[in-house]
Chains A and B, each alone.
Chain A
Amino acid sequence: QKEVEQDPGPLSVPEGAIVSLNCTYSNSAFQYFMWYRQYSRKGPELLMYTYSSGNKEDGRFTAQVDKSSKYISLFIRDSQPSDSATYLCAIGKLTGGGNKLTFGTGTQLKVEL
């Protein structure tokens, strides 16, 4: 079983739609949770990070974590064509050896006019 599972998509939505992206994870030792956006041929850029169960909002983006279910989500409101990208969830735990992240495979999102 993979440590992080993410539906690869592709997901296609009309402009203005609410998008829901999800990941599940298997190891309850993970301590923090991130969402990255990756445009084609670019490096990932951090969108959101959070430690605790609950919601965290930043503009049109809301990250949701449910540690009891080992489930994390990213919601995008009023989606725009510029949101078309691959979205990667990443989870991590602080260890004596640093903060390596475990990534999902990414969900490809296309927002159409």
Chain B
Amino acid sequence: NAGVMQNPRHLVRRRGQEARLRCSPMKGHSHVYWYRQLPEEGLKFMVYLQKENIIDESGMPKERFSAEFPKEGPSILRIQQVVRGDSAAYFCASSPSLIVGQTDGYTFGSGTRLTVV
């Protein structure tokens, strides 16, 4: 039973390019969360999605960032026109249930480390 799969593991982009980060949740998990971890900071919530729906995007920057979780395929976090401040580790997590605390909690992927040069 594969865990949460994120790819690529490392991504280097020049300023102004687009970054696409992919997340395949665990089998049977229909809830996906994206978090960002900046150096020396904790994980910060970005967005919560269910299949074909964005449920909570309160942590997403207003511009350049978007996320989707289509009916088929992985969830995608897209960052347009990247800037150096976007350099961070981006983690995806999935859960089988809305009630996170009644399950094994979130399961996180290993993250995508984005470097903007």
The answer to whether B101 has its CB under 8 Å from any CB of chain A is: yes
Find out whether the CB atom of B55 lies under 8 angstroms from the CB atom of A49.
no
In the assembled complex, B72 has its CB within 8 A of some CB on chain A? no
Q: Is A62 an interface residue (CB 8 A)?
A: no
**CB atoms of B98 and A32 under 8 A apart:** no
Task: Please tell me if A98 contacts chain B, counting CB pairs below 8 Å.
Answer: yes
Chain B interface category by residue count: 20 to 34
CB interface residues, A 7-61, toward B, < 8 Å:
8, 31-32, 34, 36, 41-46, 49, 51
In the assembled complex, how far is the CB of residue B41 from the closest CB belonging to chain A, in whole angstroms? Answer: 6
Q: Let me know if B69 is at the binding interface, CB within 8 A.
A: no
- Is B65 among interface residues, defined by CB-CB distance under 8 A? no
Q: Mark A91-113, 1 if CB is under 8 A from B, else 0.
A: 01010011111111110000000
Q: 13 A-B Cβ contacts within 8 A? A: A36-B108, A42-B111, A44-B43, A49-B101, A92-B100, A94-B98, A98-B98, A99-B48, A99-B98, A99-B101, A100-B33, A100-B45, A101-B45
Q: How far is the CA of A31 from the CA of B107 in the complex (A)?
A: 19
